[in-house]
Structure 1
Amino acid sequence: MKVAILSDIHANRFALEAVLSDLDRAGVETILFAGDVVGYYYWPRQTIDRIVADGRFICIRGNHEDIFREYVADASCRDSYRKKYGSGYDVCLSELDAGHLAWLDQLPEQASVEIGGRRFFMRHGSLRSTDEYIYPDADAAKLLANHSGEDITIFGHTHYPFVHASGERLLLNPGSVGQPRDVGGLASYALVLTDTGVVQFRRRNFDKDAVAAAAKARDPELAYLWKILER
């Protein structure tokens, strides 16, 4: 079986559509998504609708789902988050209906699933926390400590793809679909072939100009939101 591993879409519908087109061509049967549907960019409704309609997704929540939950509940925090991340959460507030909010709220913190005879474990940040970063250059002890014991342990959060092997077990970060930070403008994801255990990292072009134009119009003071797409 072919299992796609995605993370960190960040309401970038252009990147998501590019990746899903690639997955359709590849005949992918299951998509594991390691969190951060929302945050940063401006198409949360279209992104959630696309994920729900697709039918192949198994999803967990990321730190940006937790932030948005706080954003909804406590108006006093909104200005600080807006200054840091831009107006993407405001778009969520204005465009997401009760069904979208309920879908976000039900996302679990972690998930374990068996697919094609292999066991997968997902959490957004690390074994300990949704908001801990495990970078590709982390020391060996930290990487080993974050293997879950399942065949493949999946994290996201850093937006940097990597794989680390411990015997036959793998620690895998697919990188970011919506805001890749190693190579700008190329959506990153991983493909796992369950019969062989082979992992392929894949990239897809998306309309980064459309995303950048929206960021410049909505958040002109946060140049990071478009410059990160040009690395």
Structure 2
Amino acid sequence: MKICIVSDSHDNRVLLEAAVAEAHDWGAEAVLHCGDVVAPSTLNVVQKYGLPVHVIHGNNMGDLYMMARIAAQPSSVVQFYGQDAGIELAGRRIFMVHYPHYAEAMAATAKWDLVCCGHDHKANIEKIRNVQGSETLLVNPGTVAGVAAPATYAVGDLETLDFEIRPVPGA
């Protein structure tokens, strides 16, 4: 299963949609958003792609009540979890959190196949040595909105755990 990982969209609907559209064309079957959506209505631009959007809030939370309402609509593809989420997709255990230090700690537990974060707007993919002596993949897609950094997102395959950082088209 191919997925798209974004973070820190900060209400930039144009760049969020551009990243998700390109990932959709590439074959992504789900989107993980690692926080700082800000206005929940920002997610409306990705509804038309029909991909499940798994989203947490970050430190720029916006209207959490409205985020929950959008996610609760029967036709919505948005699944809102709160401050962090442990989910399973394609048999892989995935943890999503906004903060990199928290993500690194969760990767070290060896309970997750993939840990995703955002917050610092620094795109990065690394393997974290965990308590079992193996490694856990940590992906920070950077800021899809291009806030004080290049606009980037990540795509990857959950079967192989191969991920890459991509520039957002048109940014």
Structure 1 and Structure 2 fold alike (TM over 0.5): yes
What's the Cα RMSD here? 2.7
**What is the distance in 1 between the residues matched to 2:94 and 2:100?**
14
Q: Give the C-alpha shift of residue 127 in structure 1.
A: 6.1
| TM-score normalised by length of structure 1 | 0.59
1:102-141 Cα distance to aligned partner (Å, 9 max, x none): 348x64111111112221100111465xxxxx8xxxxxxx
Q: Choose between structure 1 and 2: higher helix proportion.
A: 1
Alignment of 1:1-231 (within 5 A): 1-38=1-38, 45=41, 47-55=42-50, 56-65=52-61, 68-69=62-63, 102-103=69-70, 107-126=81-100, 128=102, 143=104, 145-147=105-107, 148-149=109-110, 150-165=112-127, 166=129, 167-183=134-150, 187-206=151-170
Preserved CA contact (<8 Å) 2:97 2:116: yes
Preserved CA contact (<8 Å) 1:180 1:188: no
Q: Which amino acid aligns with 2:97?
A: R
Preserved CA contact (<8 Å) 1:160 1:175: yes
Preserved CA contact (<8 Å) 1:124 1:156: yes
Q: Give the C-alpha shift of residue 99 in structure 1.
A: 5.0
| TM-score normalised by length of structure 2 | 0.77
Q: Which amino acid aligns with 1:153?
A: V
2:76 aligned residue: none
**What is the distance in 1 between the residues matched to 2:23 and 2:66?**
26
**Number of matched residues?**
156
SS of equivalent to 1:169? strand
Q: Which amino acid aligns with 2:154?
A: A
Q: Give the C-alpha shift of residue 100 in structure 1.
A: 5.5
Q: Which has the larger radius of gyration?
A: 1
Q: Choose between structure 1 and 2: higher strand proportion.
A: 2
Structure 1's 49 and 118: CA in aligned 2 closer, same or farther, altered over 3 A? Answer: same
Structure 1's 102 and 203: CA in aligned 2 closer, same or farther, altered over 3 A? Answer: same
**What is the distance in 2 between the residues matched to 1:54 and 1:16?**
12
**What is the distance in 2 between the residues matched to 1:201 and 1:69?**
29
User: Unaligned 5+ residue runs, structure 2?
Assistant: 72-79
